[in-house]
Structure 1
Amino acid sequence: MFQTLEARTANDLWKQAAEWFRQDDKSVRQASRNGPTQEVMNVALSLQYPRQRWIAARVPAMNPAFAIAEVVWIVSGRNDSAMLNYFNAVLPRYAGEGTTYHGAYGHRIRSSFGVDQLERAYHALSAKSDSRQVVLQIWDSRIDLPSENGSEASKDVPCNVCSLLKVRDGKLEWTQIMRSNDLFRGFPHNVIQFSSLQEILAGWLKVEVGAYHHYSDSLHLYDQDGDVASHFEDISSPDNEDTLSLVKSESDAAFLMLGQLCDFCANTERSSDEVFNHVSNLHLPAGHANLARVLAADALRRRNAFGQAQEVMQQCTNPCLRFMTQRWFSKPR
């Protein structure tokens, strides 16, 4: 039986899904390779307004700079680990050590199968908007299936399997299929990653953003992370008022600059003044400029340049990103 939820914002979706883990008749005990979990199977979540993708209710607060860096990394088709690890030093604990990540979503989508699937989707839907054949494949059975003795192929086997894209009534509808989804660590980032891709592609296609549908075959919470009450605060962020929808040439140029900024920030030989000046001299569309400010502000925080970090965020015109960044900066350390 499907377990379904629909909400205007990802924050509301997350809060409603979290309530399932307080109900004995919803979640069940389930063993896993990383320890015991509470699990709800066959979950279908619908986000009515994908731009409202930021989840403020999670405790501890999520790092918006890392989430943005992931989006840039995916859009750029990268699989290198160094840049992401800079924004999230504990990531190798979950995804494995090494210079690349086995399950990198952007690399899978944009080059791993010998075709840039995002580019192909753009051309296919531009030519035939009513197509039902546009699927972005992430899972690769050749390298992702467990061995015959059940041992895992990698610490970083993709949780996302594929994306189903359809244009209906002038809107890009997006369905994300997941084999496995951690309510606490995974879902808040996954919804940002793929609803951002949805918004970006909608801009390329010059259509509106439709609903974002998220199917998880196993939505779970690890016992080691504590009960859901310890991860929940009944708050919401202001609305996200920015757009990432640009025509393709402008979008490509903006994400190229954001990728360069990520690498600049991750280079620890760069001083705080250099990071501050770099982001101050970028010329980006408003929504992308605000993403850049969040990235740079976190890089400045990591360099203990707290005054410069706050000065950069004062230039951010998106109240949602200001709220999320302030929550992250205020997290006890």
Structure 2
Amino acid sequence: MEVNFEISYPYITQSDNNWVYENANQAFNILANRIAGCGEMPGNNTIRLKNVGFYIAYPEHNHITEEWRHWNAKYAEREWNWYLSHSRDVSELQKHAPVWKRMHGGDCQVNSNYGWLWNRNKQLQKVIEKLENNPDTRQAWLTLYDGKEMDDYEYDTPCTLNIGFNIREYPTHKIIDMTVIMRSNDLIFGFCNDQYCFSQLQKYVASRIGATVGDYYHFAQDLHIYLPSTNVYPKHINDYLKNILKL
């Protein structure tokens, strides 16, 4: 995003009334406090905000640095490389993130390798070609969750619906912006690693079409945190949620 260097983050856009965060870590920190402070509890062991959309001005700054999160950059890069493999096999990844063991029926085949999904029918390559052939295209969209395949989602339902791209052209350069639309997003585990992989995808598309990285708009219909009583997260995170965020 081209910005005035005197801008103070976060701020609200005048055009579409969305928050703009400087980077992923600022978004994570503020959203955790927003969910804890004004979220609703729907009765499924989460506290959530509904229909949350926001911009990240510098998506390349994609490391989560809040000490209490203990975010693992090596794992995030491992997940990104798994996407690049286009393989549904999670046998290696689940050694580093046991949550994946609950996402399949014993065969280590999952649905949420987004690289596998955006490679189906060569979606990503076709999106890149559309951007190259028509910078004004409104058709540069990837589909990940597919309602027509709902019967195949017994163990693992993709959380991301779509990823879209658009180009802003200037006399001397062009910028690629990205929009991510999610049906559901756990802020603590999901968002931290999702935004890393999606921003890596944005950088990849930018490199393919000779553009620079622009802004990243993230929308989640249900942005949530699991309550500490569920023990979904490690103890140090649950302690922070209970003692600092008062969940």
Structure 1 residues 168 and 232, CA gap change in structure 2 (3 angstroms): farther
> Does the aligned pair in 2 maintain the 1:69–1:87 contact within 8 Å?
no
* 1:199-224: CA deviation from partner (whole Å, max 9, x where unpaired): 11100110010101100000011112
Mapped pair 1:130 → 2:130:
no
Partner of 1:106: 115
Gaps of 5+ in 1: 146-151, 234-333
Q: Of Structure 1 and Structure 2, which has the larger fraction of its residues in strand? A: 2
> Does the aligned pair in 2 maintain the 1:18–1:228 contact within 8 Å?
no
Alignment of 1:11-160 (within 5 A): 11-23=25-37, 26-32=38-44, 36-57=45-66, 59-93=68-102, 97-111=106-120, 115-144=121-150, 153-160=153-160
Q: Distance in 1 between matches of 2:71 and 2:209?
A: 31
In structure 1, give the amino acid aligned to 2:25: N
* 1:107-128: CA deviation from partner (whole Å, max 9, x where unpaired): 11102xxx11111111111111
> Does the aligned pair in 2 maintain the 1:49–1:210 contact within 8 Å?
yes
- How far 1:30 sits from its partner (Å)? 1.0
Partner of 2:11: none
* 1:211-256: CA deviation from partner (whole Å, max 9, x where unpaired): 01100000011112547645979xxxxxxxxxxxxxxxxxxxxxxx
Q: Distance in 1 between matches of 2:19 and 2:104?
A: 29
Q: Distance in 1 between matches of 2:162 and 2:208?
A: 20
- How far 1:99 sits from its partner (Å)? 2.4
Give the aligned CA root-mean-square deviation in angstroms: 2.4
Q: Taking every aligned residue pair, what percent have the same amino acid on both sides?
A: 26
Q: 2:162 is paired with a residue of what secondary structure? A: strand
Q: Distance in 1 between matches of 2:179 and 2:244?
A: 26
- How far 1:4 sits from its partner (Å)? 4.0
- How far 1:94 sits from its partner (Å)? 5.0
> Does the aligned pair in 1 maintain the 2:103–2:110 contact within 8 Å?
no
Q: Distance in 1 between matches of 2:203 and 2:243?
A: 28
Q: 1:184 is paired with a residue of what secondary structure? A: helix
Partner of 1:163: 163
Q: Distance in 2 between matches of 1:231 and 1:47?
A: 28
Alignment of 1:155-234 (within 5 A): 155-169=155-169, 170-223=174-227, 224=230, 225=233, 226=238, 229=241
Q: 1:123 is paired with a residue of what secondary structure? A: helix
- How far 1:141 sits from its partner (Å)? 1.4
Q: Distance in 2 between matches of 1:55 and 1:173?
A: 21
Q: 1:190 is paired with a residue of what secondary structure? A: helix
In structure 2, give the amino acid aligned to 1:139: Y
Q: 2:108 is paired with a residue of what secondary structure? A: coil
- How far 1:164 sits from its partner (Å)? 1.2
Structure showing greater radius of gyration is: 1
Give the number of equivalent residue pairs. 218
Q: Distance in 1 between matches of 2:105 and 2:25?
A: 29
* 1:255-313: CA deviation from partner (whole Å, max 9, x where unpaired): xxxxxxxxxxxxxxxxxxxxxxxxxxxxxxxxxxxxxxxxxxxxxxxxxxxxxxxxxxx
Structure 1 residues 137 and 196, CA gap change in structure 2 (3 angstroms): same
- How far 1:43 sits from its partner (Å)? 0.4
Q: Distance in 1 between matches of 2:239 and 2:218?
A: 23
> Does the aligned pair in 1 maintain the 2:112–2:156 contact within 8 Å?
yes
Structure 1 residues 153 and 184, CA gap change in structure 2 (3 angstroms): same
Q: Distance in 2 between matches of 1:69 and 1:231?
A: 31
Gaps of 5+ in 2: 1-15
Q: Distance in 1 between matches of 2:68 and 2:102?
A: 20
Q: Distance in 1 between matches of 2:244 and 2:107?
A: 33
In structure 2, give the amino acid aligned to 1:31: G
Q: Distance in 2 between matches of 1:231 and 1:155?
A: 33
Structure 1 residues 82 and 27, CA gap change in structure 2 (3 angstroms): same
- How far 1:76 sits from its partner (Å)? 2.8
Partner of 2:20: 6
